[in-house]
Structure 1
Amino acid sequence: MRRIFRYLVRAIFVLALIAVAVGVWKREEIKRLLAVNSLFSEEKIITNFSGMNAAFLSVDVPRGDGPVAELPKGTEATLTPEVTQWVKDRTITALVVFKDGALVHESYYQGTNADDLRISWSVAKSYLSSLLGVLLDEGAIASIDDPVTKYAPSLKGGAYDGATIRNVLNMASGVTFDEDYLDQTSDINKMGRVLALGGSMDGFAADLSETFAEPGTDWQYVSIDTHIISMIIRGATGREIAPLLSEKVIIPMGLEASPYYLTDGNGVAFVLGGLNLRTRDYARMGQMFLQNGAYNGQQIVPADWVAASTVPSAPTAQGEYGYGYQWWMPKDGREGEFLARGVYGQYIYINRPLGVVIASNAADRKFRDEGVGDYNIEIFRKIAEGL
């Protein structure tokens, strides 16, 4: 009996050593997985959203060494009581407003400040679309009606075989993908764990095999479609997204600080939601699109791409939000009004007729509640109309 006890103690000791060794070996992966599991918790969400690179792999998107683009000051806009209440209700962390290219309002909340590099979530999709438009104009990509497999051959035989670049730009690939952030078993959360554990986003996309519709016939918001755009760009150019976006879009804009992307274990940028910038720099992106792709004294994104991207070309249902090339249009479809938006309350709102750009960041854990998205746009319109 004593011998069995000694063997048992020894076995437990060996298992404990193995557990410690694995813990040390996989320390960073475990840390990132724990960060994913608590990313949106009430007590951590605000801090997390202003410091994503503290827990996840990341890569800089250099702003270059040029001067910061001039940002003139306009007449200060005062927030109405309704807007002030909205800021509180929606857990807004930053609000920046431009009128005719001038800064007319800037405020920060929840202990955050102007220097924070804030997570974009799906606002990042609009940045990637801009890069694709530049590369299309330069001839690196021949046509958006090319099949995605022309530039990303690893997708042959999978769910994306048969889809075109236009289809994925429009979120009309027909690929089955569960986007429910609140369901831990959903595809979007499985993808988050791939990112946290240093797995391959390309491999995750290539392994998708199910479709629900023929490409181009039905619209469904499928975030992995944006990663396919990344695979296309990398296949066409032989370069990674971060240096390309830096060279083609970020450096010409004269931003205040270098953004960064979250990445997978292979250093591939998490393009569908992993870009982090200052809120003033998000607003600069909106101003560039308000000005038809021109900013800081130069044409950065082709004007015809801006025009094509920001009108409803996707097969969305009547009465719902319109969708272009990774940009949104409000349900009532007012001309010259469009937006980039991300989960938990990230927005770049552009109202070209009124000359207004609004960038807002938030940590709104109730962003999916009935009517929240519509009311956010209503607030943006009231701010714009009051200037």
Structure 2
Amino acid sequence: MRALFKWVLRIALMLVLAAAVVGFWKREEIQRLMAVNSLFSPEKIVHNFSHMDAAFKTVNLPRGDGATWELPYGPGFDLPAGTDQWIEDRSVTSLLVMQGGQIRFEEYYLGTTPDDRRISWSVAKSYLSALFGILLDEGAIASLDDPVVQYVPKLQGTAYDGTTIRNVLNMASGVTFNEDYLDYNSDINRMGRVVALGRELDDFAASLQDSFATPGEIWKYVSIDTHVIGMVVRGATGRSVAELLTERIVQPLGLERDGYYVTDGAGVAFVLGGLNFTTRDYARFGQMILQNGVHDGQQLVPAEWIAASVLPSAPTASGKIGYGYQWWIPVGAHEGEFMARGVYGQYIYFDQPRGVLIVSTGADRKFRDPGVNEINIEMFRKIAQSL
């Protein structure tokens, strides 16, 4: 009996040791998975959105040694009635309003500061669009009507075989992808776990086999389309998106701080939502776009590309919000009114005729409630019109 007890004890100790070894070996994956599971919890969301580099693999986007683009302060103004309540209701963490290249209002909330590098979520898609336009203009990519598999052979035989670059830019690939953030088993959340566990998003994209529509026929917002744009960029240039974005956009803009991308396990940038910059540095990018791609006398992004990108060219439903090449166009928009938008309340709003740019970051856990996006757009319009 004593021998049996010793044998059982020895086995138990071996199992505990094995579990400890596996836990140590997989500790980073476990920590990242735990971070994903609590990323949006009420008590952590504001902090997490300013510290994504503490939970995920990242790649730096160095600002370089160039001079900082100074954003001068213009005269202050009174925000329109209802703004304070909107800031509270929408869990806004920063609000920066520019007009004519001057900061007219800047404030930070819920304990955030000007130095916080906030997660962009899908605002990152519009950055990728700008980079894509540069590469298209340079001839690295021949045509928007080229099939994606011409640049990404890995997608041959998948749901993306038969889609064009224009289709994925327009979010009209027809690829079946569940973007429900509230469904644990949705594709968007499974993709998040791919990033958390250090696996590869290229493999995830290549695993998609089903389509619900002919490419170009129906608009449906599926973030994996943006990852495929990133795959096209990498396939066309043989370089990483992080390197190209740093070289062509980040360093020429004269940012205050380095930025960074969240990456997957292969070091591939999470281009559909993984950018992290300060609010002012988002404003620097936005001001360059507002100026039709020009900064400091240099044409960083082709003006023709910006103009084409912000047209509602995607096959969206009549009377609904429009979509271009990774940019949003509000219902009833006047010429030169468009925006970059990310989940949980991230926005860069443009009113070109008024020379107005608004950057807003947030931690709004009710961002998907009916009418919230419309409320936000109406607030931006009120602010722009009050200047």
TM-score normalised to structure 2 length: 0.99
Q: Alignment partner of 1:168: what SS?
A: helix
User: Partners in 2 of 1:272 and 1:4 — Cα distance?
Assistant: 57
Unaligned 5+ segments in structure 1 are none
| Mapping for residues 368-379 of structure 1, pairs under 5 Å | 368-379=368-379
State the partner residue of 1:147.
147
Q: Alignment partner of 1:71: what SS?
A: coil
Instruction: Compute the displacement of 1:44 (Å).
Output: 0.4
State the partner residue of 1:16.
16
State the partner residue of 1:313.
313
Indicate the percent of aligned positions where both proteins have the same amino acid. Answer: 64
User: Partners in 1 of 2:194 and 2:220 — Cα distance?
Assistant: 22
Deviations along 1:315-335, one digit per CA (max 9) or x if unpaired, are: 001111100000000011322
Aligned-partner residue type, residue 93 of structure 1: T
Instruction: Compute the displacement of 1:15 (Å).
Output: 1.0
Deviations along 1:140-167, one digit per CA (max 9) or x if unpaired, are: 1111110000111100000100000000
Q: Alignment partner of 1:93: what SS?
A: strand
State the partner residue of 2:80.
80
State the partner residue of 2:179.
179
User: Partners in 2 of 1:283 and 1:373 — Cα distance?
Assistant: 20
**What is the root-mean-square deviation of aligned Cα atoms in Å?**
0.9
User: Partners in 2 of 1:239 and 1:164 — Cα distance?
Assistant: 21
Q: Alignment partner of 2:265: what SS?
A: coil
1:119–1:274 contact (8 Å) kept in structure 2: yes
Aligned-partner residue type, residue 163 of structure 2: A
State the partner residue of 1:335.
335
User: Partners in 1 of 2:296 and 2:251 — Cα distance?
Assistant: 10
State the partner residue of 2:294.
294
Deviations along 1:47-79, one digit per CA (max 9) or x if unpaired, are: 000010011000011111100112121111222
Instruction: Compute the displacement of 1:80 (Å).
Output: 3.5
2:147–2:164 contact (8 Å) kept in structure 1: yes
Instruction: Compute the displacement of 1:200 (Å).
Output: 0.4
State the partner residue of 1:283.
283
Aligned-partner residue type, residue 87 of structure 1: I
User: Partners in 1 of 2:218 and 2:6 — Cα distance?
Assistant: 66
User: Partners in 1 of 2:10 and 2:296 — Cα distance?
Assistant: 69
State the partner residue of 2:366.
366
1:254–1:296 contact (8 Å) kept in structure 2: no
User: Partners in 2 of 1:333 and 1:360 — Cα distance?
Assistant: 19
Unaligned 5+ segments in structure 2 are none
Instruction: Compute the displacement of 1:14 (Å).
Output: 1.1
User: Partners in 2 of 1:209 and 1:197 — Cα distance?
Assistant: 22
TM-score normalised to structure 1 length: 0.99
State the partner residue of 1:349.
349
Aligned-partner residue type, residue 278 of structure 2: R
1:322–1:333 contact (8 Å) kept in structure 2: no
Residues matched between the structures, number: 387
| Mapping for residues 1-387 of structure 1, pairs under 5 Å | 1-387=1-387
Aligned-partner residue type, residue 51 of structure 1: H
